Amino acid sequence: MWGAIFSVGMMAGMIRPADAKEGAMSTLTFMGKTYDLASHNETNNHPMWEFTTGSEPIDRWTTLFTLIDRPEAHTREDLDRLSQGVMEFYKTQGGQVLLAKTLQNSSGVPFNYMVAAFEQPNLHMFEVNFVKMVLGPKNAYTAIYGVRVTDPNDYAAKTKRFLDVHSTEIGHALGEAALPDLSTLPRHEF
């Protein structure tokens, strides 16, 4: 029940290197927004890169794009185990899994897709993660588009409206997006 792919081109879900001259990708574009590399770490042998819009610091983002290299997953069965593990981890962290299924992009490439929401009542906020897990040329990758929806009066209703209006668009963009070659990303931690 899972999968993902990203395509370079002029489409809503485009993810592309923006600084190819230096050989290391430090920005990407998704759904018309440019995201700058804000952090990188190698926790648990899973290299992870987090991108925020230029005006948002990593600790106060409203949208976040995360790429995670998953070198332990090489087969469809591995990808399904990875996806199941991500879903279980989200649940143990208080996440509500709103959707989990295997989809295909327009080229017929399958990927596992999940939408999970994390309620943070003290901040009057839901964090909603749109997650794509896919096999790449070497191993699996995870791409997460995170959105924080806040409202001091009724953040739950605002989140529901956000999902009603934007979840199909985000899911389609993430499904059609082509993952960049993760070897082009910086490997120093910050």
Which domains occur in the chain, in start order?
28-184 (3.40.1000)
Contacts (Cβ under 8 Å, ≥6 apart) of 142: 4, 66, 67, 68, 70, 82, 86, 131, 132, 133
Using a cut of 0.95, tell me whether the model's pTM lies above it.
Answer: no
Decide if pLDDT at 189 tops 90: no
Two tokens at 37?
A: 């590399």
- What's the mean pLDDT when you consider all of the chain? 85
Decide if pLDDT at 23 tops 60: no
Cβ atoms of 31 and 13 within 8 Å: the answer is: yes
Token look-up 């209006």 returns 165
- Give the rounded percent of residues in the chain with a pLDDT score beyond 70: 85
190 pLDDT tier (thresholds 50, 70, 90):
low
Asked which of 17-26, 31-40, 42-51, 160-169 is least confident by mean pLDDT, the reply is: 17-26
Decide if pLDDT at 8 tops 60: no
Q: Look at residue 46 in the predicted model and tell me its pLDDT.
A: 85
| 114-142 pLDDT tens trace | 999 999 999 999 999 999 999 988 889 99
